[in-house]
Structure 1
Amino acid sequence: MKLPAWEQRELGEVVDVCSGKDYKHLPSGDVPVYGTGGYMTSVSDALSSSDDAIGIGRKGTIDNPYILYAPFWTVDTLFYSVPRPRVDLDFAFCLFLKVDWKSKNESTGLPSLSKQSISSTIVVEPEFEEQRAIGALFRSLDSLITLHQRK
């Protein structure tokens, strides 16, 4: 049996890149707010109530993507990228980890990325079932590494 070939795509065909927003007008609550450095505080409203995503820095730390589990809010220095239908979150995260984001820096000062630079990045993508298997493998390895680091 011949497996389907992996297809070359722009990352914008794999995820929707969304912008974070200011949260200071929101009262405190249970929804975590994330910036480029990770968790910041919690508020009462969510930018994404039900869709998990991948956070990637717009300004500052642009080379440290991480998974965001809904509900969440992101500040304006952090993009969040929601996998499109039939794209596995863990596999999409692996794609983000593989990119040399510093090479896409658009600033001479504070490192910066744009939606366009993220969306136009070329990646390769297999069928959904293969994505799920690859994503599950790497999630399992991450869990095992975390467990051993705690010891």
Structure 2
Amino acid sequence: MSVGVAASAWEQRKLGELADSFSYGLNASATAYDGKNGYLRITDIDDSTRQFSKNDLTSPDADLSRCGDYRLSEGDIVFARTGASVGKTYIYQAKDGIAYFAGFLIRMRLKPDIDPCFVFQSTLGETYKRYVSITSQRSGQPGVNAEEYAECPVLMPLLTEQQAIGRFFSRLDSLITLHQRKQYLPFVR
């Protein structure tokens, strides 16, 4: 007697197979926030929530009319490529406003048939952390380049399952963040 399988088999893929491109960030200094154009740097990605921290917004000190290649689009995932933050990830959402990504970050733009939330959630798991830990070992400062990120393995279900899992974990992350914010609000009588 055989038991039916409710879900499809997951397939091991590499991040590079899921991406349209990997790009290095803009090499420009940060300047005072111009009120419109954000500049996402490694330090602007909150360590616990992985969201764009708006505490100390800056703008890139560059001619932005020539920097369109560095402007983030919905669903882009960025990776920290060097130092103590190597492996830290962030997924861009339009609610974060116009943002350009800085030089110590690598942007992965996914193919249209891949769910960005699912892939982002995969970068929060142990398999990804192990891969980054092993790959980033250098004689000097730890680092992972775009070619190495492209080789990172990830288990992938069908698109409908990716979307359901990605939405579930995104909602869970939002609830956790909301709960954490409530914990740190001062008690008001």
| Higher radius of gyration, 1 or 2 | 2
Q: Which residue of 1 aligns with 2:88?
A: 64
CA offset at residue 115 of structure 1? 1.0
Structure 2: gaps spanning 5 or more residues: 45-52, 183-189
Residue matched to 2:155: 124
TM-score normalised according to structure 2 size: 0.70
The 8 Å contact of residues 52 and 67 in structure 1, kept in 2 or not, is answered as: yes
Match of 2:27 among 22, 25, 45: 22
Give the residue type in structure 2 aligned to 1:78: L
Q: Is the 8 A contact 1:51 1:82 kept in 2?
A: no
- State the Cα RMSD in Å: 2.4
**TM-aligned CA deviation for residue 6 of structure 1:** 1.1
Give the AA of the match of 2:13.
Answer: R
Contact 2:71-2:100 at 8 Å conserved across structures: yes
1:69 CA displacement: 2.9
Query: Deviations 1:74-128 (Å, cap 9, x if unpaired)?
Result: 1111111112111111101012222022221052222111111100111111111
Identity of aligned residues (%): 30
The Cα shift of 1:27 comes to: 9.6
Counterpart mapping for 1:3-18 below 5 A: 3-15=7-19, 16-18=21-23
Q: Is the helix fraction higher in 1 or 2?
A: 2
Could you tell me whether the CA contact under 8 Å between 1:36 and 1:62 is conserved in 2?
no
Amino acid at match of 1:137: F
Please tell me whether the aligned partners of residues 73 and 92 of structure 2 are also in contact (alpha carbons under 8 angstroms): no
Residues 9 and 125 of structure 1 are in contact (CA less than 8 Å); yes or no, is this contact kept in structure 2? yes
CA contact (8 A) 1:83 1:92 kept: no
- For residues 128 and 18 of structure 1, the distance between their equivalents in structure 2, rounded to whole angstroms, comes to 24
Letter in 2 for 1:7: E
Q: Is the Cα contact below 8 Å between 2:25 and 2:104 reproduced in 1? A: yes
Equivalent position to 1:95, from 108, 118, 122: 122
